[in-house]
Amino acid sequence: MNKITNHMPTAELQAIDAAHHMHPFTANHELAAKGARVITRASGVTLTDSEGEQILDAMAGLWCVNIGYGRDELAEVAARQMKELPYYNTFFMSTHVPAIALAQKLAELAPGDLNHVFFASGGSEANDTNIRMVRRYWDQMGKPNKHVIISRKNAYHGTSVGSGSLGGMAGMHAQGGMPIPDIVHIGQPYWYLEGGDMSPEDFGLMRARELEAKIEELGEDRVAAFIAEPIQGAGGVIIPPDSYWPEIKRICAAHDILLIADEVITGFGRTGEWFGSQYYDIQPDIMTVAKGLSSGYAPIGASLVSDKVAKVIDSGEFAHGYTYSGHPVAAAVALENLRIMEEEKIVDHVQNEAAPYLAEKWHSLADHPFVGETTIVGMMASLALTADKSVRKPFKAPAGTVGYKTRERCFANNLIMRHVGDRMIVAPPLVMQKSDIDTLYERAVKSLDEAY
């Protein structure tokens, strides 16, 4: 059998890939016919493929490579940690320095009293932790019926059975017995498609009040928590109207239910603040983080837990944990990533330079005849494709075909953009410079022109 290397012909790599590798969220039958693009290396904001093409990654991988590719410091820290202590667990009264140091750093960075950290290998696992933690919290508080978690349609919270149930992706639920019991979904604050004749602000209030109506329908004594992404990412970068979060905050406080902010995408500078909760001035009881925590250099996620919740959970043994909770190499890499973010003032760069420039360019895409709206917060942006700008509607069925075609044109033009139905999305590395944003814009315009 041949050794597989970067130097093999692309077609050969693609054939072996199609024969043996089942890809996530991919129509795997297409792999044999089309072949996956083989990425061989990356530096800064640019990927290189097996044909030597230079591709601008406007998705930061999967919304995660916040500090950009090819940072030697992270490779060196990982190698050093692997030599010193490649693995040890944090179960049964053991700990190690990378987990201690990262937990302390996260407690310092996170807003308010999120002073306690439960590690996981990624966002899905962290949200599974959250399901168990909030139910355990209310059990310990003497309220064992308070187990229902309210989430939102079209939310994404991960792909395990628990986190996929928290998510509100109908297509996922249809494939595998989700949602699990005691998870219910309310409407999302997606004004452009669902707001009808209402103003964005009235619509935002209306959608927030669905939470109150659901709590009243179920009974306050049954509802444990509400979970939401400050800005829905995978659902299409749905930026809520300004009225939404203040009302959600009021409702959670009024009904004594815990608020879980899923900041797997919005954490670590993406919104121009360290966390989306700061952007919206919310103080969650639990925050989910992953992705940008290590800029994707190592798989790691965490639940950041408030004093109030941790005090109750820590009063006994929480029968929960992952082999890789606080993995020393992943923790050391994450810590170095955060050090670099602080040293290079990456959050300031987003807020004062990259995001305002991206916003200017992004909004000018609204001049295109097939772009219905452009929205952006920090370095996460989306646009709606439509055949008729005068009505807020996507292209006619089959839904998503125009988005898919636009994404394919971007791919051909060496720009990674994602589509969700007929919405196009970018979430570039936070270190993007103005010249990269110019390239992003030029390739986006060309791709939009070619798609129709």
Question: Interface with ligand PLP includes 302 (CB under 6 A)?
Answer: no
**Which of 229, 247, 422, 436 is close enough to bind ligand PLP by CB under 6 A?**
229
Q: How far is 236 from 399, CA to CA, in rounded Å?
A: 14
What is the phi/psi pair of residue 4, to 5°? -80, 125
Binding-residue total with ligand PLP (CB under 6 A): 16
CA atoms of 231 and 240, how far apart (whole Å): 7
By beta-carbon proximity to ligand PLP, the closer residue of 204 and 233 is 233
Give the span between the Cα atoms of 172 and 161, in whole angstroms. Answer: 10
Q: By the 8 A CB rule, do 318 and 136 touch?
A: yes
- Distances from the Cα of 242 to the Cαs of 113, 247, 315, in angstroms? 25, 10, 38
Q: Which of 149, 265, 371, 384 binds ligand PLP (CB under 6 A)?
A: 265
162 binds ligand PLP (CB under 6 A): no
If binding is defined by CB under 6 A, does position 427 make contact with ligand PLP? no
Candidates 99, 95, 140, 123; CA nearest to 319 is: 140
Whole-number minimum distance, CB 399 to ligand PLP, in Å?
21
Does residue number 301 form part of the binding site for ligand PLP (CB under 6 A)? Answer: yes
When the beta carbons of 420 and 437 are compared against ligand PLP, the nearer one is 420
Instruction: Pick the piece of the chain touching ligand PLP (CB under 6 A) from 6-14, 32-40, 244-252, 261-269.
Output: 261-269
User: Does 273 participate in binding ligand PLP (rule CB under 6 A)?
Assistant: no
* Residue 230 binds ligand PLP (CB under 6 A): no
Residue 120: which residues within 8 A CB-CB, separation 6 or more? Answer: 126, 128, 129, 290, 300, 301, 302, 303, 322, 324, 325
State phi, psi for 282 to the nearest 5 degrees.
Answer: -115, 150
Minimum distance of ligand PLP from residue 164's CB (angstroms): 9
Cα dist. 224→82, 117, 150, 314 in Å? 40, 20, 8, 18
- Indicate the residue among 13 and 416 with the shorter CB distance to ligand PLP: 416
Least separation in angstroms between CB 144 and ligand PLP: 27
Tell me: does residue 158 bind ligand PLP (CB under 6 A): yes
Contact residue for ligand PLP among 116, 146, 157, 349 (CB under 6 A) = 157
* Beta carbons within 10 angstroms of residue 25's beta carbon: 9
Residue ranges in 11-70 that form contacts with ligand PLP under rule CB under 6 A: 62
Return the bridge partners of 215, or none.
none
Binding site for ligand PLP (CB under 6 A): 62, 122-124, 127, 156-158, 229, 233-234, 262, 264-265, 290, 301
